[in-house]
A and B are shown apart, each in its own frame.
Chain A
Amino acid sequence: MNEQRKIRLATCSLAGCFGCHMSLLDIDEKLFDLLAMVEFDRTPFTDIKHCGPCDIGIVEGGVSNAENVHVLKEFRKNCKVLVAIGACAITGGVPALRNNIDLWDCFQEVYLYEGGLEGNQIPNDPELPLPFDKVYPVYEVVKVDYFLPGCPPSADTIWKFLTDLIEGREPKLDSAMLRYD
Chain B
Amino acid sequence: MQPHEFPQIEQQLASVFERHGCEANKLLQILREVQEIFHFIPAAAITCIAAHLDVPRTRVEGVAGFYSFLSLKSAGEYRMLFSDNITDQMQGNPELMRYFCHKLWLEPGKVSEDNLLSVDSTSCTGMCDQGPAALVNGWPLTNLDHARLDLIAELIRVRKPVCDWPSLLFEVKDNIRRAGTLLGEPFIPGAALRATLERGSAATLAEMEASGLRGRGGAGFSVARKWSMCRASAGEQHYIVCNADEGEPGTFKDRVLLHSYADLVCEGMTVGARIIGASKGFLYLRGEYRYLLHQLEQVLAQRRAAGLLGRNILGESGFDFDIEIHLGAGAYICGEESALIESLEGKRGRPRKRPPFPVTHGYLDQPTVVDNVETLACAARIAAQGGAWFAAIGTAQSSGSKILSIAGDCARPGIYEYPFGITLQEILDDCGAEDPYAVQVSGPSGILVSAQEFNRCIAFEDLPTAGAFTVFRRGRDLLQLVQNCAHFFAHESCGFCTPCRVGTQLQKKIVDKIANDHGTASDLEELKQLGHIMQTMSHCGLGHTAANPVLDLLQKFPDAYQHKLKKLAFEPAFDLDGALETARNITGRDDAWAHLP
* A interface list, Cβ under 8 A from B: 66-67, 69, 103-104, 107, 122-124, 126-127, 129-134, 136, 140-143
Query: Most A CB atoms within 10 A — which of B522, B574, B593?
Result: B593
CB-CB < 8 A to A66: which residues of B?
580, 593-596
CB-CB < 8 A to B583: which residues of A?
103, 130-133
Asked if A141 meets B572 with Cβ closer than 8 Å, knowing A107-B586, A122-B587, A134-B579, the reply is yes
Let me know if A133 and B579 touch, CB within 8 A.
yes
Residue of B at shortest CB range from A108?
B586
Let me know if B573 and A104 touch, CB within 8 A.
no
CB-CB < 8 A to B595: which residues of A?
66
Say yes or no for B589: interface residue by CB 8 A criterion: yes
Let me know if B572 and A133 touch, CB within 8 A.
no
Say yes or no for B588: interface residue by CB 8 A criterion: yes
The 3 lowest CB-CB distance pairs between A and B, nearest first, are A143-B570, A126-B591, A124-B587
CB-CB < 8 A to B594: which residues of A?
66, 126, 130
Asked if A132 meets B580 with Cβ closer than 8 Å, knowing A122-B587, A123-B587, A143-B522, the reply is yes
Q: C-beta contact mask, B571-585 vs A, less than 8 Å → 1, else 0? A: 011101001111110
Q: How far is the CA of A66 from the CA of B581 in the complex (A)?
A: 11
Residue of B at shortest CB range from A124?
B587
Let me know if B574 and A140 touch, CB within 8 A.
yes
Let me know if B586 and A140 touch, CB within 8 A.
no
Total interface residues on B, CB under 8 Å, equals: 23
Query: Most A CB atoms within 10 A — which of B570, B586, B591?
Result: B586
Let me know if A130 and B593 touch, CB within 8 A.
yes
CB-CB < 8 A to A136: which residues of B?
574, 579
Asked if A69 meets B591 with Cβ closer than 8 Å, knowing A103-B582, A132-B583, the reply is no
Let me know if A69 and B576 touch, CB within 8 A.
yes
CB-CB < 8 A to A69: which residues of B?
576, 596
Residue of A at shortest CB range from B569?
A143
Residue of A at shortest CB range from B576?
A69
Q: How far is the CA of A12 from the CA of B573 in the complex (A)?
A: 23
Query: Most B CB atoms within 10 A — which of A130, A131, A134, A141?
Result: A130
From A129, A130, A141, B584 is in contact (CB under 8 Å) with: A130
From B570, B582, B588, B589, A133 is in contact (CB under 8 Å) with: B582
CB-CB < 8 A to B584: which residues of A?
130
14 contacting pairs across A/B (C-beta < 8 A): A66-B593, A69-B576, A103-B586, A104-B582, A123-B587, A124-B589, A127-B593, A129-B593, A130-B580, A130-B584, A130-B593, A130-B594, A132-B579, A141-B572
CB-CB < 8 A to B581: which residues of A?
133
User: Given known contacts A103-B586, A141-B576, A142-B572, what 8 new A-B pairs fall within 8 Å (CB)?
Assistant: A66-B594, A66-B595, A66-B596, A69-B596, A103-B583, A124-B589, A126-B591, A142-B570
What is the minimal beta-carbon distance from A137 to any residue of chain B, in angstroms? 11
CB-CB < 8 A to B582: which residues of A?
103-104, 133
What is the minimal beta-carbon distance from A72 to any residue of chain B, in angstroms? 10
B514-556: which have CB < 8 Å to A? 522
Q: How far is the CA of A103 from the CA of B589 in the complex (A)?
A: 15
Let me know if A122 and B586 touch, CB within 8 A.
yes
Q: How far is the CA of A123 from the CA of B583 in the complex (A)?
A: 11
CB-CB < 8 A to A134: which residues of B?
579
Residue of B at shortest CB range from A122?
B587
Residue of A at shortest CB range from B579?
A132
From B569, B586, B589, A126 is in contact (CB under 8 Å) with: B589
Q: How far is the CA of A90 from the CA of B579 in the complex (A)?
A: 19
CB-CB < 8 A to A140: which residues of B?
572-574
CB-CB < 8 A to B570: which residues of A?
142-143
Residue of B at shortest CB range from A127?
B593
Q: How far is the CA of A69 from the CA of B588 in the complex (A)?
A: 21
Q: How far is the CA of A13 from the CA of B263 in the complex (A)?
A: 69
What is the minimal beta-carbon distance from B338 to any residue of chain A, in angstroms? 28
CB-CB < 8 A to B596: which residues of A?
66, 69
B415-450: which have CB < 8 Å to A? none
CB-CB < 8 A to B593: which residues of A?
66-67, 126-127, 129-130
What is the minimal beta-carbon distance from B160 to any residue of chain A, in angstroms? 40
Q: How far is the CA of A104 from the CA of B587 in the complex (A)?
A: 10
CB-CB < 8 A to B586: which residues of A?
103-104, 107, 122
Q: How far is the CA of A140 from the CA of B506 in the complex (A)?
A: 11
CB-CB < 8 A to A126: which residues of B?
589, 591-594
Q: How far is the CA of A137 from the CA of B393 in the complex (A)?
A: 57
What is the minimal beta-carbon distance from B29 to any residue of chain A, in angstroms? 36
Q: How far is the CA of A90 from the CA of B532 in the complex (A)?
A: 21
Let me know if B573 and A124 touch, CB within 8 A.
no
Q: How far is the CA of A62 from the CA of B593 in the complex (A)?
A: 19
What is the minimal beta-carbon distance from B583 to any residue of chain A, in angstroms? 5
Q: How far is the CA of A143 from the CA of B593 in the complex (A)?
A: 23
What is the minimal beta-carbon distance from B417 to any residue of chain A, in angstroms? 49
What is the minimal beta-carbon distance from A101 to any residue of chain B, in angstroms? 12
Residue of A at shortest CB range from B586?
A107
What is the minimal beta-carbon distance from B230 to any residue of chain A, in angstroms? 38
B257-291: which have CB < 8 Å to A? none
CB-CB < 8 A to A103: which residues of B?
582-583, 586
Q: How far is the CA of A113 from the CA of B569 in the complex (A)?
A: 45
Q: How far is the CA of A134 from the CA of B591 in the complex (A)?
A: 20
What is the minimal beta-carbon distance from A119 to any residue of chain B, in angstroms? 16
What is the minimal beta-carbon distance from B63 to any residue of chain A, in angstroms? 27
Q: How far is the CA of A143 from the CA of B573 in the complex (A)?
A: 11
CB-CB < 8 A to B579: which residues of A?
132-134, 136
What is the minimal beta-carbon distance from A65 to any residue of chain B, in angstroms? 8
Residue of A at shortest CB range from B572?
A141
Q: How far is the CA of A157 from the CA of B569 in the complex (A)?
A: 29
B331-379: which have CB < 8 Å to A? none
What is the minimal beta-carbon distance from B315 to any residue of chain A, in angstroms? 63
Residue of A at shortest CB range from B521?
A143
Q: How far is the CA of A142 from the CA of B572 in the complex (A)?
A: 6
CB-CB < 8 A to A143: which residues of B?
522, 569-570
Residue of A at shortest CB range from B592?
A126
Q: How far is the CA of A66 from the CA of B594 in the complex (A)?
A: 7
CB-CB < 8 A to B580: which residues of A?
66, 130-133
Q: How far is the CA of A89 from the CA of B596 in the complex (A)?
A: 20
What is the minimal beta-carbon distance from A30 to any residue of chain B, in angstroms? 32
CB-CB < 8 A to A124: which residues of B?
587-589
Residue of B at shortest CB range from A126?
B591
What is the minimal beta-carbon distance from A180 to any residue of chain B, in angstroms? 14
Let me know if A130 and B572 touch, CB within 8 A.
no
Q: How far is the CA of A66 from the CA of B589 in the complex (A)?
A: 13
Q: How far is the CA of A60 from the CA of B579 in the complex (A)?
A: 21
CB-CB < 8 A to A123: which residues of B?
587
